[in-house]
Amino acid sequence: MLAEKDQVFLKNESNEIRKLIIRFSNPELSNHFGGPFSSVEIMTYLYMFVMKDMDLSQKERDKLILSKGHCCPTFYALLGRRGYLSEEELHTYKKLNSPLQVQPDMKRLPFVDFSSGSLGQGLSVAVGMAIANKMKNSKNNIYVILGDGEIQEGQIWEAAMAASKYRLDNLICFLDKNNLQSDGNVCDVMPIEPVAKKWETFGWFVTEADGHDFCQIDQKFKECSQASGVPKMIVCNTVKGKGVSFMENKYEWHSKILSNDMKLLALKELEGMVC
């Protein structure tokens, strides 16, 4: 069970991260909010708890691939909270010459473990990294965050087979299942259910969690650590746009302009959240 103080810390961090994302969003441009907000708790847990003591400028450590690359505002905000980026640097997001590209770019920002953006490719790369760690006898884990719309890509299932064949128990995947994608409901655009069963059939250890509940994420993550010889998948049930009521469960907030007035409204709501 996650200690009380850790729970409070993580909840507080996730709230600060949402506020940061709102603050550095560009009020003149369309910004991704839905996906970044649904993945806040998953990524906060990984960067502020599991990898908390790891120096992100070092090469030999656990790695995280944000396969749904457009959720990188959450990652950038986390780098800000961990002291790798200043708020001033965060405000360069989406601006010309910025290391904070709209999709994470490892060549411009060294803390990015692998560039992403084109959906469906991150899991294959993670499989390659996990095989590499096995070859090197390294104990480091590889984490991947996939979107539920993203798993419509065929390459995901090619990678799922390979992870199973090579018994990659150092590969832990989080499915940010917020049930919405760019054009609407996942179940309308292209149904993916039964998700858990699909991954199980592909030879993965599968478990489910409320993706906004740190205790559940922690519990399921620890369950995964027990399973050996198989890759692991935590299906995280999440809410797209989580934390800002006018964004929640609205597919149009996948990417949209947030005006300065609306920014204030969103910040007010997040300020009011008691942790």
Residues 54-113 that bind other proteins (CB under 8 A): 105-107, 113
CA distance 51 to 62: 7
Distance CA 43, CA 63 (A): 12
Least gap, CB of 135 to other proteins (angstroms) = 7
- Long-range contacts of range 189-192, CB-CB < 8 Å, 24 or more positions apart? 189/149, 189/152, 190/152, 192/148, 192/151, 192/152
Tell me the closest approach of the beta carbon of residue 208 to other proteins, in angstroms.
26
Closest CB to other proteins among residues 122, 241:
122
Q: What's the chain's length in residues?
A: 275
CB of 26 or CB of 118, closer to other proteins: 118
| 118 lines the binding site for other proteins (CB under 8 A) | yes
**Least separation, in Å, of the C-beta of 165 and other proteins?**
8
Asked whether position 123 contacts other proteins by CB under 8 A, the answer is: yes
Return the residue of 124, 164, 207, 237 that touches other proteins, per CB under 8 A.
Answer: 124
Binds other proteins by CB under 8 A, chosen from 49, 75, 76, 114: 114
Residue 137 or residue 260: which is nearer to other proteins going by CB? 137
Residues numbered 6 to 65 that lie near other proteins (CB under 8 A) are none
Among 135, 139, 260, 268, binds other proteins (CB under 8 A): 135
* 115 counts as binding other proteins under rule CB under 8 A: yes
Could you tell me how many residues of this chain bind other proteins (CB under 8 A)?
Answer: 30
Residues 6+ apart with CB under 8 A from 151: 120, 157, 175, 192, 195
Which string of x and - marks every residue 138-167 that binds other proteins (by CB under 8 A)? ----------------xx--xx-xx---x-
* Cα–Cα dist 92/98, whole Å: 6
- Give me the long-range contacts of 12-17 (CB less than 8 A, separation at least 24): 12/275, 13/44, 13/48, 13/81, 14/40, 14/41, 14/44, 15/243, 15/270, 15/273, 15/275, 16/77, 16/81, 17/44, 17/74, 17/77, 17/78, 17/81
Q: In the complex, which residues of this chain contact other proteins (CB under 8 A)?
A: 105-107, 113-115, 117-118, 121-133, 135-136, 154-155, 158-159, 161-162, 166
